[in-house]
Structure 1
Amino acid sequence: MKLTINPGVRTSLTLITIMLAIGGVTGLVGFIFGREALRGVSQPIVNPILSTSMGEGNRGRQSFLKEEDIIAQAKKLTGGDEINSPPKQEAPSPSPKPEAKNENEPEEALTLGEFPIVGEDQGIRFEVSSARTQGDELVLQVSLKNDSSQGVQFLYTFLEVTNDKGESLSALTNGLPTELPAGSDVATGTINISQALLRNAKAINLKLSNYPNQDVELHVPAIPVE
């Protein structure tokens, strides 16, 4: 019986044979080149206790340093029997602690000028009893009283605040009533003005008119703020 080989198998075997042959030749050539490149190269002596000055005649023989020589070299490198230690760092002196602020101490509140300063018209009294700085604001303590026989109304958007140069300033009112009946009790409140608006002003002026008739004009001039 004649054995027939499939042409595909024959081709595969041929390719494998060629690849093995090429691999063998490549490996042999690499070995030859590597051997030639390393010819004359020997492993260096890396043992620290062996002499580093061994010549060709002493190659293969090991010479050891004496214990006394090793100790002498160690002392020479360390500067004697004592091993050098890094200098001690002085501890920084503690900085003085800032004085603690008394929690019960009120925020900056400096009373200015001489008070009270009063403006009156037709039995209506507008009084500024004090001025103080609080934070970044000037706070005016004010009061209104109606001793006339008729009630009056106020709209505080009509409150005019000017400095001693006649420049208008914006202000906020707190606690003042919009209506004062005839013979009313004293009503108190505050007027707050940002200190950034005051700049170098030495005094400010207040003018308040009733609403809507505006026939009552209350002027409080020259309130010291410097």
Structure 2
Amino acid sequence: MKINPTVALTFLLLVLMTGAGVFTGALGFAIGREALKGITQPDSRPTNKGTAQNSSVREDIVLLKEEDILKTVKGRTSAGRSSSPSPNASPQSNSEEAKPASNAAAKLPMTTQTNGVAMDVTGIRKQGEFLLLDVALKNNSNQPVKFLYSFLNVTDDKGRLIVADTAGLPPELPSKSDRFTGTISISTSMLDDAQKISLQLSDYPDQKLQLKMADIPIKSP
């Protein structure tokens, strides 16, 4: 039987195309598998400690308490409201915003000193929705001291942590420095029924120097 040349050529082309496709697919699979050799899916199981590097990363994660977050938000919100005075406020009402905090000033000034570095609380007053503490720092030692005021720890007489802001205090006290003054501001909404507060300030980054001042009266007995 005579074979049609056109049919034979078409069949040959189909065989060649099929063979080329199979060969190309196999070659691509082999190259891809070789390229991905040694790569594995990361283990995201929370109970798996993983490598030492992953463990160190997890250890650096600090989970904040919900109570502290709510206190911070509450203090910041109060700060935003008090920083925008009413346009109808009279000069007399503005002048009356800063008032001494009851009879708390009777026991002031209070002083604490560690390794030649002294911290004074010289005054306490109320301004709007904030309690302001007038403070002073002085370095009598021969070494400069650095502070990071976000490390300032303020607690009330019930052991509750209080969010506070500082203003005017320098980040570094040079050796044999002058006396630097500033303020610590606390939202009165965070003080509730507290009668006294305590301050603790550490140097940065060593945190070897601890300035502590306890039982600072903020209300009259």
The structure with the largest helix share of the pair is 2
Partners of 2:91 and 2:172 lie apart in 1 by: 43
Q: Which residue matches 1:225?
A: 218
Partners of 1:130 and 1:151 lie apart in 2 by: 26
Cα shift readout 1:140-197 (whole Å, capped 9, x = no counterpart): 0001000001000000010000000111000000000000010000000000000000
The structural deviation recorded for 1:106 is 3.0
5+ residue gaps, structure 2: 1-89
Equivalent residue for 2:100, pick from 104, 110, 120: 110
**Where in structure 2 are the equivalents of 1:94-109 lying within 5 Å?**
102=92, 105-109=95-99
Distance 1:153 1:108, change over 3 A: closer
Q: Which residue matches 2:134?
A: 141
Q: Which residue matches 2:112?
A: 119
Equivalent residue for 2:174, pick from 158, 181, 187: 181
Partner of 2:198, secondary structure, is: strand
Distance 1:103 1:146, change over 3 A: same
Partners of 2:154 and 2:182 lie apart in 1 by: 16
TM-score of the two chains, using structure 2 as the length reference = 0.55
TM-score of the two chains, using structure 1 as the length reference = 0.54
Greater relative CO, 1 or 2 (CA 8 Å, sep 6+):
2
Partners of 1:104 and 1:169 lie apart in 2 by: 27
The structural deviation recorded for 1:221 is 1.0
Give the partner amino acid of 2:96.
P
Give the partner amino acid of 2:99.
A
Cα shift readout 1:108-149 (whole Å, capped 9, x = no counterpart): 412433201111100000110011111110000001000001
Q: Which residue matches 1:201?
A: 194
**Where in structure 2 are the equivalents of 1:1-226 lying within 5 Å?**
102=92, 105-111=95-101, 112-113=104-105, 114-226=107-219
Partner of 2:182, secondary structure, is: strand
The alignment of Structure 1 onto Structure 2 pairs a total of residues equal to: 127
RMSD of aligned alpha carbons: 1.7
Name the larger-Rg structure. 1
Query: Percent identity of the aligned residues?
Result: 43
Partners of 2:91 and 2:149 lie apart in 1 by: 38
